[in-house]
Amino acid sequence: MDSDFNRQMHLIDERYHMENALLDAIAAGDYKRATQTLLHYSSLMDSPLQEYRPSSDDMLREFKNSTHVMNTLFRKTIEASHVHPIYIHEYSTRFDRRIEAAQTPEEISSLIREMLRRYCYLARNYSLATYSKTIREAILYIELNLYGPLSTGEIAKALNITPNYLSNQFRKETGSTISDYIRRRRIDAALRLLNTTDLSIQEIGEHIGIGDSSYFSHQFKSIVGMSPMEYRKMVHGHVNDKP
């Protein structure tokens, strides 16, 4: 009896330890470590990552419920790492919908791995944990107004600080000027649209706040190393763009 109790206590303790290790890896944006930890974690308990025999509806429902919990834990973990909800919300709600739409445990298994990859990406690229409150607010203002006219003066006014102070502090903390940061974030948005939509190059430029298609192509090439059309051809294997 005592040995059974001790084994159960040890298993519970190890599960909690591995869960915390998994969340730590996600917070650090370390996808490789997160994947390895999840595999170990899943070996300790019933999980969609294990090998399955045909399952009942009740079992599939249980897997969906546990994956919803994972989605919430992952979301709250990167939020605690100062990834703003404006970045998190789209992924989180999309994953919730896809979890419910899953028809098999294998689909859920694949989805969990995608959740890990996406949340690690957000933690790696969108965490503001190392920045001061002023620069976090400046970055969030930029993100919320990315597709409209933006200037250092406008941002400084919104934050009630001087443009000179904002420029100096922004460069000191991020290693980038405000204008370069805005340009890179707009091109990041363009890359997402090129990867996920059939919008024309002109439409994508307008969507990200650069209405002049020639200027957009120039800015895109200066950062990516190829034109938007070349990038789309590389990604999709052909050119199917509207003028």
Instruction: Tell me what the mean pLDDT of segment 123-136 comes to.
Output: 90
- State the chain's mean pLDDT as an integer: 87
Tell me: do 111 and 204 sit in the same domain.
no
Check if the beta carbon of residue 217 is closer than 8 Å to that of residue 183. Answer: no
Tell me: do 171 and 183 sit in the same domain.
no
Tell me: do 40 and 156 sit in the same domain.
no
d(CA 91, CA 71): 10
Tell me: do 214 and 192 sit in the same domain.
yes
Tell me: do 94 and 39 sit in the same domain.
yes
Compute the radius of gyration of the chain from its Cα atoms. 22
Q: What pLDDT, on the 0 to 100 scale, is given for residue 15?
A: 81
Tell me: do 147 and 226 sit in the same domain.
no
Tell me: do 35 and 148 sit in the same domain.
no
pTM reported for the whole predicted model: 0.67
What digits encode the pLDDT tens for the residues 200-229?
Answer: 999 999 999 998 999 999 999 999 999 999
Tell me: do 69 and 148 sit in the same domain.
no
Tell me: do 108 and 222 sit in the same domain.
no
Domain count, the chain: 3
Tell me: do 104 and 70 sit in the same domain.
yes
Q: What pLDDT, on the 0 to 100 scale, is given for residue 237?
A: 66
If you ran DSSP here, which 8-state letter would residue 145 be given? T
pLDDT at residue 182 is higher than 90: yes
More confident residue, 43 or 160: 160
Range of the domain at 236: 179-243
What digits encode the pLDDT tens for the residues 48-70?
Answer: 444 444 456 688 888 899 999 99
Q: What pLDDT, on the 0 to 100 scale, is given for residue 239?
A: 44
More confident residue, 241 or 105: 105
Q: What pLDDT, on the 0 to 100 scale, is given for residue 25?
A: 93
Tell me: do 121 and 222 sit in the same domain.
no
What size, in residues, is the chain? 243
Q: What pLDDT, on the 0 to 100 scale, is given for residue 48?
A: 46
Q: Which residues of 58-93 are buried (b: 16+ CB within 10 A; e: fewer)?
A: eebeebbebbeebbeebbebbbebebbeebbeebbe
